[in-house]
Structure 1
Amino acid sequence: MHVSLEQAEKAIAAAVAESERLGTQMCIAVVDSGADLKAFTRMNGAWVGSIDIAIKKAKTACFFGMNTGQIGQLSQPGGPLYGIEHSNQGLITFPGGVPIVDQDGVLIGAVGVSGSSVENDHQVAKAAAESIGLSDLPSHPWRT
């Protein structure tokens, strides 16, 4: 099951609305369950450097079915996933990537957001994911 174009566009719209509410300019990426880009927008004034980061955050959240901030906690020195950011042609292990889960608990894609503080990035990504589904998979033994 993949996120549809209509769902991806709805998620982008929700992310833009939340970004505007926060007074930020973001790059927003939505990937399908295969981690392939489905939709993307760069708000006026958003950093060019955030384009790649948003896409990688979405892919990272999709690859592992968890928020990128959770992966970051697990990938610290001495952690069970230390060094993981070097896999898959580069992952992002700080907040702003959120999986999109349907009502049956199935991963259908992910959202990645970049352009502000990591707290704002996560908040905007979560708002986008929740506009079309859930923002977390059922319990996983790695989750903290």
Structure 2
Amino acid sequence: MANSKLFLILEDAKKIAAAAETEARRNNWPVVISIVDEGGHLLYLMRSDNTQYGSIEVAIQKARSAIAFRRPTKVLEEQVNQGHVRYLNLPGAIPIEGGLPIVLSNQFVGAIGVSGVRSHQDAQIAQAGIDALNSDSF
């Protein structure tokens, strides 16, 4: 990380988003990528050309949901798919794959949310951003 404290700064968010954007471009997928801090506050937002504007809020909410519940939004989606509809009524929960928490040294420091293509593709893009945390280039 660019800083020594366990929280995200704008520079970190840009690096995570850049790795995610690279994955999206590699697949020619128009998406919105959002990065939030540990409190769910928006740090960074990127919208590819020709991405529907509805994906802006969805990407933000996926990231907020991932940090609020400290788990990938896919976990919530799986619960709903198994018939646990109470997850649909949790405040701040969006049970759609594509939101991942950002964890550093076992501490939740933020999240990434992606929206614009199929939800498993959104998650693939988000994972590329998370993977940047584990690379030597981060």
TM-score band by shorter chain is 0.7 to 0.9
Give the aligned partner of residue 90 of structure 2: 87
Aligned partner of 1:56 among 54, 61, 70: 61
Preserved CA contact (<8 Å) 1:100 1:130: no
Which ranges of structure 1 fall in alignment gaps of 5 or more residues?
135-144
Distance 2:86 2:26 in 1: 35
* Superposed counterparts of 1:14-33, under 5 Å: 14-33=19-38
Preserved CA contact (<8 Å) 2:79 2:87: no
Preserved CA contact (<8 Å) 1:69 1:96: yes
Q: CA deviation at 1:94?
A: 1.3
Give the aligned partner of residue 50 of structure 2: 45
What secondary structure is seen at the aligned counterpart in 1 of 2:15? helix
Q: TM-score, normalised by structure 2?
A: 0.87
> Which 4+ residue blocks in structure 1 deviate beyond 4 angstroms?
none
Distance 1:22 1:78 in 2: 33
**Aligned AA (1:5):** L
**Aligned AA (2:52):** W
- Could you tell me the percent identity over the aligned residues? 33
Number of aligned residues: 130
Distance 1:22 1:83 in 2: 35
With over 3 angstroms needed to count, the CA separation of the structure-2 counterparts of 1:83 and 1:133, relative to structure 1, is farther
Distance 2:93 2:17 in 1: 21
Preserved CA contact (<8 Å) 1:26 1:42: yes
What secondary structure is seen at the aligned counterpart in 2 of 1:20? helix
Q: TM-score, normalised by structure 1?
A: 0.83
